């Protein structure tokens, strides 16, 4: 084998190795995107539940819905909307405060509460 054949062989091997590494990189990039999307969905789901949004859904269902929204390109908008929501104030209200929040006796009578 002469020198030019050796060079051609090395170049072919290098091209094959580069294609293989590129495929591996692409697969890993896709897997990483899935992990990042899931983590972002978890973060948004936790924020939603902390703020009292969609508390009627199980956490894993909510995360699944948010992952689907991410696939549709809507997760960023949902995250921004959740950031605009205030904290769930009902968690910090005591039972006595809830009774006062219902209003005075006249308001309760008019609302049919008494």
pLDDT class of 97 with cuts at 50, 70, 90: very low
55-82 b/e (C-beta count within 10 Å ≥ 16 → b): eeeeeeebbeebbebbeeeebeebbeeb
Q: Over the stretch 21-38, which tens digit does the pLDDT of each residue have?
A: 999 999 999 999 999 999
pLDDT score, position 102: 53
Domain residue limits, the chain: 3-86
pLDDT class of 113 with cuts at 50, 70, 90: low
Q: Average model confidence (pLDDT) for the chain?
A: 84
Q: Report DSSP state, residue 86.
A: P
Angle at CA of residue 30, ends 73 and 83, nearest 5°: 35
């Amino acid at each position: 084998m002469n020198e030019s054949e050796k060079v051609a062989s090395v170049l072919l091997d290098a091209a094959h190795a580069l294609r293989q590494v590129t495929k591996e990189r692409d697969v890993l990039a896709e897997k990483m995107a899935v992990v990042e999307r899931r983590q972002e969905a978890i973060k948004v789901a936790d924020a939603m539940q902390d703020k009292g949004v969609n508390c009627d859904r199980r956490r894993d269902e909510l995360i699944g819905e948010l992952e689907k929204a991410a696939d549709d390109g809507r997760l960023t908008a949902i995250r921004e909307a959740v950031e605009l929501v205030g904290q769930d104030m009902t968690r910090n209200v005591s039972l006595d405060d809830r009774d006062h929040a219902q209003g005075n006796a006249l308001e309760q009578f008019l609302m049919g509460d008494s």
